[in-house]
Structure 1
Amino acid sequence: MELSVFNNSKLSDHEVRLFPSIYIRGEKEPEMRATAALLAMVRAVSEFGGIIIKQTGGPGGKAKNVECLTEVSFLPDFPEDNDPARPDGIIRRKYGKKIWTAFVEVKVGKSEIDKMQVNKYLKWANSLDFDALITISNQITRPNGDPPYNYNRRIKKVKVKHFSWEKIHSIVQNLCGIEQNIEDLDQKWMLEQFDKYLADDNSRIIAPPSFGKHWHSVLKNAKQGTLRTHKNQIQDVIQYWFAFLRVASFKIGAKMGQDVRIRIPRKYKTDSTGFINESCNKAIDTGYLIGELIFPGMKDIKISVNLRSTTLHLSHEVLAPQDGRRDRRVRWIIRELKKQGKIPKSIRIKIDWKQRGLITCEDYENLTEGINPLLRGEGNMQVSKDVMPKYFIIEYEKPLTAIRGKGSIEELRGVQKDLEDFTV
């Protein structure tokens, strides 16, 4: 007979934690705990370790024969100087007769990777015949995937790879989300514990999203039409914007089990500075922050923030069915939306018809009694039964002011939630 005390709904709050987040003090302890937990997972969970090592240029497959070390000042080959700085850890993987080795440097919260330390560790790694240098922080990689810092690219033998904590978290969530991803149940439980630790604000690992210190000044300048005279401020906000979109793509991708990415024009694949500058100029000219997320198997989702009215706008195109009568094709998109369950209130449907210049639109909530509102164009003219829909455009709009907090943190959390409601 099971005791009634074990039927308590709050029982889960008392489950044992592999990585407790209580009594974390000072600036250094969160970093030390995060490093130890991360390297323990690389060592213990072969699927997770395999992904980290492979993405850093190491051998593929599940990471067996892995050794992870912390506080590595014991290495005799470190130069004798007055600089006490040292990497936070080392990952070594034996495969066949070879050994792959990487330094690991970790920062948590708002702390950033030190460019001088990176170049120093890169030099050490090169002299020790290490294969890679891994850095981890809340800094997001540049839009083209490069690390968020400059480093000595003349040292080509050592691979430099940066992970944001959100990227690490998305990898963990992806692995935990599908039962078959991790064979060993104990390893799966350990990774689930690491997932909880990363998500716990008390761990002080992941920093909340932000538009940066110039956000409210940029909103004011947009309303006054003076963005061009404060280009440095809008450029700063643009960098935070794309950093946020990368984090959003990680989170949505983890929930969907897909590889979601930011769309970057081909000419900027290796030119992050050019991409940011062009985006900055567009923001100045139009008053919008814009971006696109690429989803496998479906049209891109376009995202924009109107800086003057502080509204969020999301949209994506869906190809209309190519057979059936007109009304049947239109009803198809209504059925598809209903399958998603709860529909956000501000959803609007547009139809781009196979007749030049003909577009109709209506709010989703006005279509509960039928599709007739979508079959009327300008002047309430009925769309001919011979004209078929080409694309459906699903749109969503919401004021940012409705989710505004003291800074931009709550605004971006609201944008993240709206994105997830719109896509997942």
Structure 2
Amino acid sequence: MTELPDMCCKGEAARLFPVLSENSKEGRTLSIFLACLENVSPFGRALLGGLGVKVGARGRIDTFTEVEFKKSPGDKNNRPDGLIIVKTGKNVWTALVEAKVGNANLTNDQIESYLTLAKANNIDAVITLSNQFTPLPTHHPLSISAQLTRKVDLFHWSWGHVITQAQLLRDQEEVEDREQLILLNELQRFLLHSSSGVKEFDQLSPAWSDLCSAVAAGSRIGVRDPKCQEVVGGWHQALDRMTSMLSRQIGEHVKVAMAAGETHDPVKRLKGALADLSGASCLKSDINIPDAAAKVQISADLQKRVLTFQMRLRAPGDRQSTKARLRWLLNQLGDADPNELHIRLAWPGSSPATQYTLAALREDPTLASSDRPEMAPHAFDVLLVRELGARFAQPRNFVTELLNAATHFYNNVAFYLVAWQARPGKIAGEKREPASVSTEGLRDQVEQEALQRTG
């Protein structure tokens, strides 16, 4: 039987089959999750490894629910939902857990009080779980004072992230133990059922419609407008939901690409998105798909009400004409549905790019070189351009269209494209075999060259 640590005065070991009241949906869901985290070794290693906590082959994970602590500053009824203890040799790592399900969101007051509780009891971290999406465990949905996280780390797992990790472990056959695999399957099945209180992000806030209307009326977007920050937060959650969905569909971990410094600084990421929104009425992001020919660039233009997915490929350098280079690309897209797909050609120097529909170029590839017969493009952009009209401004429909477009673009473009790579040079016929040269011969050759230089 697992014993409670000395810092605790009360608590229960996390149960796979918790005996709780019907109203305790939150406690039931967390207990089942923590029990699987403890008993499905690859699952625990994957999730905790994402926090930088290594659980070796001899490491042990213990989990508890409804834990009360001997030291409870402030509110004596301060009781987090769970506790995780990782023991690896002599090293011990601990974390408080706070979980929300359904429409319940995390609050600053509660999380700040748990950070204070963790510090008082020498606990290393606080982990939150909710239906709020974040791209990385180090990015938190709440803005918390840096003073509270100096000695206690703060992490966040969305329930969608938990489901995705379970799916990837199954798809990649990382769970070899039969009983553990059954537990993981049942956990995923449970979390995907409505009774668990877990739900995927499916709509933006009403601020999205308000901002779209303001842009249509010609209003300027201010970076300090609370609605703008709310819209950017929703956009990031929608992207995280999209990458989770693609990860499950593909069986590989699709990630949001971030600029230098954004991984450890979510505020920097927020400021970058706000600058794009205020400057060009546009939201942008890139995602990385394992083994794809290039990153996928995504943009939502609030002024045009257009959603765009695109990939850029360097034109093949071993083909000289526009026709030959374009044929190389068109051959890769031979099975793609041309609906909504466009090809943009990037030309050398200051020549502006030109763009045509995939259908038009299939019918007549010479269109691409008709006005520039002496030039050849150095790169191609393959774009999915989806004009949404009124659906763009509708919070739920926009997320639906984003998810549908992501799947469509992957199936019709990203899956087929292969980046061009130069081949190594050939060995000339007369150089296929190295000449047999003696040491004496080399010495004579050097002496002759020296005499020529001095004579």
> Please, what TM-score do these two structures have when normalized by structure 1?
0.80
For the 8 Å contact 2:72–2:120, the answer to whether it is kept is: no
Q: Kindly state the Cα deviation for residue 271 of structure 1 after the two structures are TM-superposed.
A: 4.7
Where does the alignment leave 5 or more consecutive residues of structure 2 unmatched? 1-15, 412-455
Task: Tell me the amino acid that sits aligned with residue 363 of structure 1.
Answer: T
1:13 corresponding residue in structure 2: none
2:406 counterpart of 1:419: yes
| Partner SS for 2:147 | coil
| Partner SS for 2:103 | coil
For residues 101-116 of structure 1, what are the structure 2 equivalents within 5 Å? Answer: 101-116=94-109
- Aligned to 1:397, which of 374, 385, 391? 385
For the 8 Å contact 1:56–1:159, the answer to whether it is kept is: no
Task: Tell me the amino acid that sits aligned with residue 389 of structure 1.
Answer: P
2:376 corresponding residue in structure 1: 388
For the 8 Å contact 2:221–2:277, the answer to whether it is kept is: no
Question: Identity, % of aligned pairs?
Answer: 23
Tell me the distance in 1 between the aligned counterparts of 2:88 and 2:145. 29
2:223 counterpart of 1:233: no
Tell me the distance in 1 between the aligned counterparts of 2:146 and 2:58. 29
1:223 corresponding residue in structure 2: 216
For the 8 Å contact 1:261–1:295, the answer to whether it is kept is: yes
Structure-2 change in CA distance of 1:382 and 1:226 (3 Å): closer
Task: Tell me the amino acid that sits aligned with residue 399 of structure 1.
Answer: E
For the 8 Å contact 2:221–2:281, the answer to whether it is kept is: no
For the 8 Å contact 2:131–2:159, the answer to whether it is kept is: yes
1:243 corresponding residue in structure 2: 237
1:89 corresponding residue in structure 2: 82
Report how many aligned residue pairs link the two structures. 389
| Partner SS for 1:312 | strand
2:340 counterpart of 1:353: no
1:203 corresponding residue in structure 2: 196
Tell me the distance in 2 between the aligned counterparts of 1:218 and 1:173. 36
2:35 counterpart of 1:40: yes
Q: Kindly state the Cα deviation for residue 318 of structure 1 after the two structures are TM-superposed.
A: 1.1
Q: Please, which moves more after superposition, 209-218 or 260-269?
A: 260-269
Tell me the distance in 2 between the aligned counterparts of 1:245 and 1:215. 15
For residues 255-294 of structure 1, what are the structure 2 equivalents within 5 Å? Answer: 255-266=249-260, 271-294=265-288
Q: Kindly state the Cα deviation for residue 325 of structure 1 after the two structures are TM-superposed.
A: 4.6
What are the superposed Cα offsets for residues 33-58 of structure 1, whole Å, 9 maximum, x if unpaired?
A: 32022112202211110012222332
Tell me the distance in 1 between the aligned counterparts of 2:169 and 2:22. 30
1:4 corresponding residue in structure 2: none
Structure-2 change in CA distance of 1:95 and 1:274 (3 Å): closer
2:164 counterpart of 1:176: no
Structure-2 change in CA distance of 1:227 and 1:337 (3 Å): same
For residues 177-196 of structure 1, what are the structure 2 equivalents within 5 Å? Answer: 177-179=171-173, 181-196=174-189
2:139 corresponding residue in structure 1: 146
Q: Please, which moves more after superposition, 147-156 or 183-192?
A: 147-156
Tell me the distance in 2 between the aligned counterparts of 1:334 and 1:207. 37
1:10 corresponding residue in structure 2: none
Tell me the distance in 2 between the aligned counterparts of 1:159 and 1:382. 58
Q: Kindly state the Cα deviation for residue 412 of structure 1 after the two structures are TM-superposed.
A: 0.3
For residues 368-383 of structure 1, what are the structure 2 equivalents within 5 Å? Answer: 368-369=362-363, 371-376=365-370, 381=371, 383=373
Tell me the distance in 2 between the aligned counterparts of 1:142 and 1:342. 30
Q: Kindly state the Cα deviation for residue 390 of structure 1 after the two structures are TM-superposed.
A: 1.3
Q: Please, which moves more after superposition, 229-238 or 411-420?
A: 229-238
Structure-2 change in CA distance of 1:328 and 1:186 (3 Å): farther
> Please, what TM-score do these two structures have when normalized by structure 2?
0.75
| Partner SS for 2:54 | coil
| Partner SS for 1:361 | strand
Tell me the distance in 2 between the aligned counterparts of 1:61 and 1:325. 54
Structure-2 change in CA distance of 1:160 and 1:145 (3 Å): closer
- Aligned to 1:66, which of 49, 61, 75? 61
1:15 corresponding residue in structure 2: none
Q: Kindly state the Cα deviation for residue 393 of structure 1 after the two structures are TM-superposed.
A: 0.2
CA RMSD of aligned residues (A): 3.1
Q: Please, which moves more after superposition, 275-284 or 209-218?
A: 275-284
For the 8 Å contact 2:281–2:303, the answer to whether it is kept is: yes
Tell me the distance in 1 between the aligned counterparts of 2:176 and 2:336. 34
For the 8 Å contact 2:72–2:78, the answer to whether it is kept is: no
Tell me the distance in 2 between the aligned counterparts of 1:187 and 1:344. 44
- Aligned to 2:307, which of 295, 305, 312? 312
| Partner SS for 2:37 | helix
Where does the alignment leave 5 or more consecutive residues of structure 1 unmatched? 1-18
For the 8 Å contact 2:204–2:235, the answer to whether it is kept is: yes
1:334 corresponding residue in structure 2: 330
Tell me the distance in 1 between the aligned counterparts of 2:180 and 2:88. 21
Q: Kindly state the Cα deviation for residue 63 of structure 1 after the two structures are TM-superposed.
A: 7.8
For the 8 Å contact 1:208–1:409, the answer to whether it is kept is: no
Task: Tell me the amino acid that sits aligned with residue 404 of structure 2.
Answer: K
Structure-2 change in CA distance of 1:114 and 1:409 (3 Å): same
What are the superposed Cα offsets for residues 123-146 of structure 1, whole Å, 9 maximum, x if unpaired?
A: 333333333221111223478943
Task: Tell me the amino acid that sits aligned with residue 51 of structure 2.
Answer: T
Structure-2 change in CA distance of 1:37 and 1:332 (3 Å): farther
| Partner SS for 2:67 | coil
Structure-2 change in CA distance of 1:316 and 1:124 (3 Å): same
